[in-house]
A and B are shown apart, each in its own frame.
Chain A
Amino acid sequence: MSDIENRKLLISIIAGLLKDCNHVAVGASSPIPGAAALLAQELWGQPKHLNILGSVKNNFFTNGAQELFDCAAQGRIDAFFLGGGQIDGSANINLMGRGDYPNNKPRWPGTFGSAYLYMLIPKVILFREEHSKRVLVDKVEFISAPGTSDETVYRKGGPYGLLTNKAFFLFDKEKQRFNLQSVHPGSSLEDILDNTGFEFDYLADVPTTPLPSDEVLDVMMTKVAPRLKEVYPQFAEAVLAA
C-alpha cells in the first residue's frame, strides 16, 4: 500500500468515527483529521458543525481558540484529535519533548491545549501516523495530558482510540489499556507486536481494516480536496487529488 493510499485509508477510518458527532474541532497541523471531518460532512451531513483551526471558511468561531476552549468546557464539542511525540499504554501523551524537562532534547513545540481538551471532550481520537517503539512507548517521559484520572477529578472527556498508519486500537477505560481492533492492509499482528512499545489486548485473528470504496475515494477527490485546499493546499493537492 502506497503512502497516499494509506493516508486515504486513515481519512476514511476517522470519518467513520465522526458520523455520530454534532460538533467536531480540528487543531493545528492536522490535515488528515481535517480531511476526515470534511469527508464525514460530505458523506453523511455529520458533523453538522465543524471548526478547523487556521481556516476562515470552515471555522465559525469569532473569538479564536478562546471560544474553542470555552465550548469544550461546556460540553459543546463531541470529538477532537490529539497526537504526541510519545503515547503510552495508559493513553498518556507527551507533546513536550524527550529527556529531562525543561532542557529537553529534542524539545517539541509544547503542550498546546491538550491538558484541557483531553479532560473535557468525550471522544478524543489519538492520531499519530508513525507506528514505532520510539513513539508508542511503555511510559511517556512527560505527561502533557493524562490518559486517565482518579474519580475525585472532574473529567468528562478522554481517549476513545488510537489510530496509526498500521492499526486502530480502542481504549478500554475500565482496564486502562488499549485493545487492538484492526490491522491495516500491508501490516500484520506480528508487525504490530514488534513495533509497539506498550502491552495491549488483542485477538489472535484480528480483523483487517477495510479499504475505502471507490465512491468514498471519489468524494475525497471531488468534494473534500477543494474544501481542504484553503488550509492545507499541499496536502489537498498531493494526497486527496492524487
Chain B
Amino acid sequence: MGVIRKSWRWFESRTGIARFIGPVARHRVPKTGKMGWFFVFGSATLVAFLMQGLTGISLATTYVNSTADAYPSLQYITDQAPLGSLVRGMHNYGATAMTVLVGVHMVRVFLMGSYKFPREVNWLSGVILLVLTLGMGFTGQLLRWDQNAIWSVVVGAEQAGRTPFIGDWLGHFILAGDTLSGETLSRFFSLHVFLLPGLIFVVVSFHLYLVLRNGISTVPESGQPVDPKTYHTWYRNLLKHRGEPFWPDAAYRDIIFGVLVIIAIIALALVLGPPELGRPPDPTIIKADPKPDWYFLWYFSILAMVPASSESFIILLFPFIIGLVLILLPFIANKGERTPLRRPWAVAIVLVAVVAIGVLIVVGQEEPWVPQFDATPLPQTVAGPNPSPSIQAGITLFNQKGCLYCHKIDGNGGIRGPDLSEVRSHLTIEQIKVRVLTGALNMPAYGTNLSAQELNELLAFLETRVGNKTPRGSQ
C-alpha cells in the first residue's frame, strides 16, 4: 500500500494531474434540483461517442479495409468472431444513441435558451458536432460495403453532382475516381476512422472548455431574461450563493444516465443484433434499393416527394438553409427570456420539426414512391367467377406490363399510383383509355407498348372494376 501511495506521490509531483483535475471537477455550478436531469444529455452524447471509439477500435482489428474483402470480413465479424455480433450491434446502436442524444441535447439547449449570451460559441461548436456526428453516420453506413452501401455512394456522388460549376468534380471526388473503384472504400474508411473522429475529439474538447469557461446554464425561470450587461455579475453571485460543486453534486446524474445509455446500447445489441448485411457489393447486380440509415431517411423522403423541377435547389439549399439558421440563431436571439413558457415559437418549431422528421422517417420506410416489383400477381379470380377470355388476358397484361407495380387492386400492388380497385367509379372507360395511352407525370405512356388488341383486353379488365359511385363524365 505504501509503495502505491509513494508511487502516486511521485507521479503527482511530476504531473500535477490531481491538482489539475480536482478544481476542475469541483468547479461550482448552479443548483438545478430535479430539473438537473434535463442537463445530462450532453455528457451522455460523450459517453456514446466513447462507446463508439471503443467498439470501433475493436471492430477495426478485424475489419479489412479492402473493396474485395470488407464484406467477407464483416460476415466473419457478424457470424463467427467471438462476441463479434454483439460488438457490431453495440457500434450500430451506439451510433443511433449518439445521433439521438446529440439531437435531444440540442433541443434541450434550444428550448431552455441555453445558447444565449454568453454561450453562443458553445452552440456553434455544438452545431459543428451535429454535422460531424451525421457525417460519422453516413460514412459508417458505407463501410458496411454491401449492395446498399455502394449504391448509396453513387447516390451521394450524384447529389453532390448537382452543385453548380464543380458538381462533376465533386461527385467524382466522393467516388475517389471516375467510378466506384478500389479507392472508394478507403476514402470513406479514412474519413470514418481518422478524420471525423479526430475532428470530433478536437471540437468536443473545445466544447467542454467552453462549458467550463462559461459555466453550465441555469434552469430558466419566467421573468428572468438574459441581459448581457448584467449576466456575468448575476451568474457569479448565483454560483456564490446558490451554487454547488459539480463533483459529485451534479456529476452523479451524468454518471447514472451515462451508464443507463451504455446498458441500453448493450441491451439493444443483444436483443436486436447488428444490422443485417445486404447482398454482396457488386455494381453489376441490378437488383438494389439503396436507402440510407434512419438518420437520413427523412431527407431521403423529402427528395423523393419534391417536384423534380425544384429538386436540385432542395438538395443543395435545404441543408445550407438549415445550417445557416442554426449558425445565425445565437446571433439573432442571444438575449431575453429563456424559459420555453415565454417562447411559444421555440416550442412550436421543435414540435413541428420533431413531428415532421418522425413522419418523414415512417414514410421513408414505406417508400410509397417505389414501384413494387415483387407484388403478388393478380389472380384470374380478381374479376369474379368465370371471367371472359378477354378479361383474363387483361388481368395478365395488368400483371406483366408493370401496371401492378404502381397500382393496387383489391389489396395487391404498389401504391405509387392511385388504387384502381374501383377505377370505373371515378373514370369513364374513355378517360381510362386516354390515361393508358398518354400516361401522366409519374406514369409512362403505353401508346407504343400495347397493341390495339392488348389495349382492348386491358380496358375490358378495368371495365370490371366498378364500385358504388357513378363515374365522372358518364351519361
Q: Do A and B interact?
A: no
Identify the A interface with B (CB < 8 A).
none
